[in-house]
Homo-oligomer: A and B are copies of this chain.
Protein backbone atom coordinates (compact mmCIF):
# COMPACT_ATOMS: atom_id res chain seq x y z
CA UNK A 1 0.00 0.00 0.00
CA UNK A 2 2.77 2.47 0.85
CA UNK A 3 4.68 3.52 -2.27
CA UNK A 4 8.30 4.10 -3.28
CA UNK A 5 9.51 0.79 -1.92
CA UNK A 6 12.14 -0.80 -4.10
CA UNK A 7 10.69 -4.24 -3.66
CA UNK A 8 8.19 -5.86 -5.95
CA UNK A 9 7.11 -5.26 -9.48
CA UNK A 10 7.91 -1.75 -10.72
CA UNK A 11 5.15 0.50 -11.93
CA UNK A 12 4.66 0.52 -15.68
CA UNK A 13 3.66 4.20 -15.88
CA UNK A 14 5.20 7.56 -15.08
CA UNK A 15 3.38 8.96 -12.10
CA UNK A 16 3.95 12.61 -12.95
CA UNK A 17 2.89 12.14 -16.56
CA UNK A 18 -0.26 10.35 -15.46
CA UNK A 19 -1.05 13.08 -12.96
CA UNK A 20 -0.55 15.65 -15.69
CA UNK A 21 -3.15 13.89 -17.82
CA UNK A 22 -5.59 13.81 -14.90
CA UNK A 23 -5.01 17.51 -14.26
CA UNK A 24 -5.86 18.39 -17.85
CA UNK A 25 -8.98 16.26 -17.82
CA UNK A 26 -10.28 17.74 -14.54
CA UNK A 27 -9.37 21.18 -15.89
CA UNK A 28 -11.35 20.64 -19.05
CA UNK A 29 -14.40 18.80 -17.75
CA UNK A 30 -14.53 19.62 -14.05
CA UNK A 31 -14.65 17.24 -11.11
CA UNK A 32 -18.15 15.95 -11.71
CA UNK A 33 -17.75 15.85 -15.48
CA UNK A 34 -14.72 13.58 -15.25
CA UNK A 35 -15.40 9.92 -14.43
CA UNK A 36 -12.86 7.43 -13.17
CA UNK A 37 -13.44 5.53 -16.40
CA UNK A 38 -12.52 8.68 -18.36
CA UNK A 39 -9.41 9.10 -16.24
CA UNK A 40 -8.44 5.46 -16.59
CA UNK A 41 -8.75 5.68 -20.36
CA UNK A 42 -6.89 8.98 -20.70
CA UNK A 43 -4.13 8.08 -18.26
CA UNK A 44 -3.70 4.62 -19.78
CA UNK A 45 -3.90 3.05 -16.32
CA UNK A 46 -6.48 0.63 -15.01
CA UNK A 47 -8.71 1.90 -12.19
CA UNK A 48 -7.19 -0.38 -9.57
CA UNK A 49 -3.75 1.05 -10.29
CA UNK A 50 -5.08 4.61 -10.06
CA UNK A 51 -6.49 3.87 -6.62
CA UNK A 52 -3.25 2.22 -5.52
CA UNK A 53 -1.13 5.11 -6.75
CA UNK A 54 -3.26 8.18 -6.00
CA UNK A 55 -6.08 7.17 -3.65
CA UNK A 56 -9.71 7.83 -4.43
CA UNK A 57 -11.16 10.37 -6.87
CA UNK A 58 -11.13 13.25 -4.42
CA UNK A 59 -7.49 12.58 -3.49
CA UNK A 60 -6.55 12.45 -7.17
CA UNK A 61 -8.36 15.73 -7.73
CA UNK A 62 -6.44 17.32 -4.86
CA UNK A 63 -3.15 16.07 -6.32
CA UNK A 64 -4.14 17.41 -9.74
CA UNK A 65 -4.90 20.79 -8.16
CA UNK A 66 -1.54 20.72 -6.39
CA UNK A 67 0.21 20.00 -9.65
CA UNK A 68 -1.78 22.79 -11.30
CA UNK A 69 -0.42 25.25 -8.77
CA UNK A 70 3.12 23.93 -9.12
CA UNK A 71 3.38 23.94 -12.88
CA UNK A 72 0.95 25.99 -14.99
CA UNK A 73 -0.13 28.10 -12.02
CA UNK A 74 3.38 29.48 -11.64
CA UNK A 75 2.57 32.28 -14.07
CA UNK A 76 1.22 34.30 -11.16
CA UNK A 77 4.19 33.49 -8.92
CA UNK A 78 6.48 34.82 -11.64
CA UNK A 79 4.46 38.03 -11.75
CA UNK A 80 4.69 38.37 -7.96
CA UNK A 81 8.46 38.37 -8.22
CA UNK A 82 8.45 41.57 -10.27
CA UNK A 83 10.32 44.29 -8.39
CA UNK A 84 7.85 47.18 -8.65
CA UNK A 85 4.11 47.51 -8.25
CA UNK A 86 3.63 48.64 -11.82
CA UNK A 87 5.64 45.83 -13.41
CA UNK A 88 3.88 43.35 -11.12
CA UNK A 89 0.40 44.39 -12.25
CA UNK A 90 1.61 44.47 -15.84
CA UNK A 91 3.03 40.97 -15.55
CA UNK A 92 -0.06 39.69 -13.74
CA UNK A 93 -2.26 40.71 -16.66
CA UNK A 94 0.08 39.76 -19.50
CA UNK A 95 0.94 36.43 -17.92
CA UNK A 96 -2.75 35.73 -17.41
CA UNK A 97 -3.40 36.47 -21.07
CA UNK A 98 -0.64 34.06 -22.14
CA UNK A 99 -1.91 31.48 -19.69
CA UNK A 100 -5.53 31.70 -20.79
CA UNK A 101 -4.88 32.26 -24.47
CA UNK A 102 -2.16 29.66 -24.88
CA UNK A 103 -2.92 26.35 -26.51
CA UNK A 104 -1.01 24.09 -24.17
CA UNK A 105 -3.76 24.05 -21.57
CA UNK A 106 -7.57 24.30 -21.50
CA UNK A 107 -8.74 27.85 -22.12
CA UNK A 108 -9.82 28.82 -18.64
CA UNK A 109 -8.84 28.63 -14.99
CA UNK A 110 -8.69 25.28 -13.19
CA UNK A 111 -10.09 26.82 -10.03
CA UNK A 112 -13.26 27.80 -11.90
CA UNK A 113 -13.81 24.91 -14.30
CA UNK A 114 -12.66 22.37 -11.72
CA UNK A 115 -15.75 23.01 -9.64
CA UNK A 116 -17.70 26.25 -9.38
CA UNK A 117 -20.89 24.41 -8.43
CA UNK A 118 -21.63 20.78 -7.65
CA UNK A 119 -23.94 18.30 -6.02
CA UNK A 120 -24.06 17.95 -2.26
CA UNK A 121 -21.92 14.83 -2.16
CA UNK A 122 -19.02 16.35 -4.09
CA UNK A 123 -18.74 19.58 -2.16
CA UNK A 124 -15.18 18.88 -0.99
CA UNK A 125 -14.03 19.47 -4.56
CA UNK A 126 -15.83 22.82 -4.70
CA UNK A 127 -14.45 23.77 -1.30
CA UNK A 128 -10.91 23.01 -2.48
CA UNK A 129 -11.28 25.25 -5.52
CA UNK A 130 -12.73 28.03 -3.38
CA UNK A 131 -9.88 27.65 -0.93
CA UNK A 132 -7.32 28.05 -3.70
CA UNK A 133 -9.05 31.12 -5.09
CA UNK A 134 -9.15 32.74 -1.66
CA UNK A 135 -5.53 31.79 -1.04
CA UNK A 136 -4.54 33.43 -4.31
CA UNK A 137 -6.37 36.57 -3.27
CA UNK A 138 -4.49 36.56 0.02
CA UNK A 139 -1.19 36.34 -1.85
CA UNK A 140 -2.28 39.20 -4.09
CA UNK A 141 -3.12 41.27 -1.04
CA UNK A 142 0.32 40.54 0.38
CA UNK A 143 1.91 41.92 -2.77
CA UNK A 144 -0.17 45.08 -2.52
CA UNK A 145 0.84 45.54 1.11
CA UNK A 146 4.46 45.25 0.05
CA UNK A 147 3.84 47.88 -2.59
CA UNK A 148 2.28 50.16 0.01
CA UNK A 149 5.29 49.78 2.27
CA UNK A 150 7.48 50.64 -0.70
CA UNK A 151 5.48 53.80 -1.23
CA UNK A 152 4.30 52.67 -4.66
CA UNK A 153 0.66 52.50 -3.68
CA UNK A 154 -1.47 55.36 -2.42
CA UNK A 155 -2.43 55.35 1.26
CA UNK A 156 -5.88 56.55 0.16
CA UNK A 157 -6.58 53.30 -1.59
CA UNK A 158 -8.21 50.51 0.43
CA UNK A 159 -6.04 47.42 0.10
CA UNK A 160 -8.86 44.89 0.52
CA UNK A 161 -11.04 46.63 -2.04
CA UNK A 162 -8.19 46.92 -4.51
CA UNK A 163 -7.31 43.27 -3.99
CA UNK A 164 -10.86 42.17 -4.75
CA UNK A 165 -10.96 44.50 -7.73
CA UNK A 166 -7.80 43.05 -9.27
CA UNK A 167 -8.96 39.52 -8.47
CA UNK A 168 -12.27 40.33 -10.09
CA UNK A 169 -10.61 41.61 -13.25
CA UNK A 170 -8.44 38.51 -13.56
CA UNK A 171 -11.39 36.17 -12.94
CA UNK A 172 -13.28 38.12 -15.56
CA UNK A 173 -10.55 37.37 -18.07
CA UNK A 174 -10.85 33.66 -17.24
CA UNK A 175 -14.57 33.79 -18.01
CA UNK A 176 -13.81 35.66 -21.22
CA UNK A 177 -11.44 32.86 -22.18
CA UNK A 178 -14.14 30.29 -21.41
CA UNK A 179 -16.42 32.33 -23.66
CA UNK A 180 -14.06 31.69 -26.53
CA UNK A 181 -12.04 34.89 -26.66
CA UNK A 182 -8.83 34.58 -28.64
CA UNK A 183 -5.46 35.47 -27.20
CA UNK A 184 -5.49 38.73 -29.16
CA UNK A 185 -8.90 39.63 -27.79
CA UNK A 186 -7.83 38.76 -24.25
CA UNK A 187 -4.77 40.94 -24.68
CA UNK A 188 -6.85 43.89 -25.80
CA UNK A 189 -9.22 43.43 -22.88
CA UNK A 190 -6.31 43.17 -20.46
CA UNK A 191 -4.71 46.31 -21.86
CA UNK A 192 -7.99 48.18 -21.50
CA UNK A 193 -8.01 47.10 -17.87
CA UNK A 194 -4.40 48.24 -17.43
CA UNK A 195 -5.15 51.64 -18.94
CA UNK A 196 -8.10 52.12 -16.62
CA UNK A 197 -5.87 51.10 -13.73
CA UNK A 198 -3.49 53.85 -14.76
CA UNK A 199 -0.75 51.38 -15.62
CA UNK A 200 1.30 51.51 -18.79
CA UNK A 201 0.74 48.80 -21.37
CA UNK A 202 3.85 47.17 -22.79
CA UNK A 203 3.56 48.63 -26.25
CA UNK A 204 3.90 52.06 -24.65
CA UNK A 205 6.97 51.22 -22.55
Contact = CB atoms under 8 A, between A and B. Distances in A.
Contact of A112 (B116, B181, B189): B116
A170 B175 CA distance: 10
Nearest to A167: B176
Interface string A141-179: 000000000000000001011101101111111111011
A196 B192 CA distance: 11
Contact of A117 (B33, B180, B188): B33
Question: Taking chain A's interface residues, is the majority helix, strand, or loop, or is none over half, making it mixed?
Answer: helix
A137 interface: yes
A47 B161 CA distance: 46
B168 A189 contact: yes
Contact of A171 (B113, B161, B176, B198): B176
